[in-house]
Amino acid sequence: KTWRNVAGDLLAASGVCGKVRPGGVLLVDLNDTSGTRALLIGTSNGILVTFVSPDEETNSSGQHWERLGTLEEFPIVLTSDVDYEPSSDRLVAATMGRGIFVLKDAKKKLLETRDRLTEGIGNLDLMTKIGVAGRARK
């Protein structure tokens, strides 16, 4: 196996100007028939997620990033670490200055996010409209 660039539209999805400096990085197996895995990173604007396929020929695999959760669910905050506990299906995020956040039923949320990205509908589109995100995805 070789390295594969999955940066895609990470900069646009992060809403930051300049460089994205990821904190924690996590790969979660979604245990569905496609073999897709969720790749999550902590950033200065929360948690971003993309979905990677075991089939390296899939052109869109890892190319579109999405902020995980709405602003009401997870604030715009520097997220330094992300972890997943499979036995309880919980995602745990450590932030700078806002404490620890726990997401129950994490796989369900990840699958919903994957489905929105597949359909071309995402939180980024909504955030751009209200002026929260930096620039729209091309």
Q: Tens digits of per-residue pLDDT, 24-66?
A: 888 899 887 778 899 999 998 899 999 988 776 555 677 889 9
Could you tell me the end-to-end alpha-carbon distance of the chain, in angstroms, rounded to an integer? 29
**What is the C-alpha separation between 44 and 127, in angstroms, rounded?**
16
pLDDT, position 8: 86
Mean pLDDT, to the nearest integer, of 98-126? 82
User: What integer pLDDT is reported at residue 69 of this predicted model?
Assistant: 85
Q: Choose among 117, 124, 114: nearest CA to 38.
A: 114
CA-based nearest residue to 108, from 90, 83, 129: 90
* Nearest alpha-carbon partner for 94 in 104, 86, 83: 83
Angle at 117 between CA 67 and CA 99, to 5 degrees: 20
Q: Hey, what are 53's tokens?
A: 């396929």
**Cα 77 to the center of its chain, rounded Å:** 14
Give the model's pLDDT for residue 57. Answer: 56
Over pLDDT 70: what percentage of the chain? 80
What is the predicted pLDDT for the residue at 137? 41
What the block records as the tokens of 115 is: 């489905």
The proportion of the chain whose per-residue pLDDT surpasses 90, expressed as a percent, equals 36
Beta pairing, strands 100-103 & 37-43: unpaired
pTM for this predicted structure: 0.78
Tens-place pLDDT, residues 67-86: 998 888 888 899 999 999 99
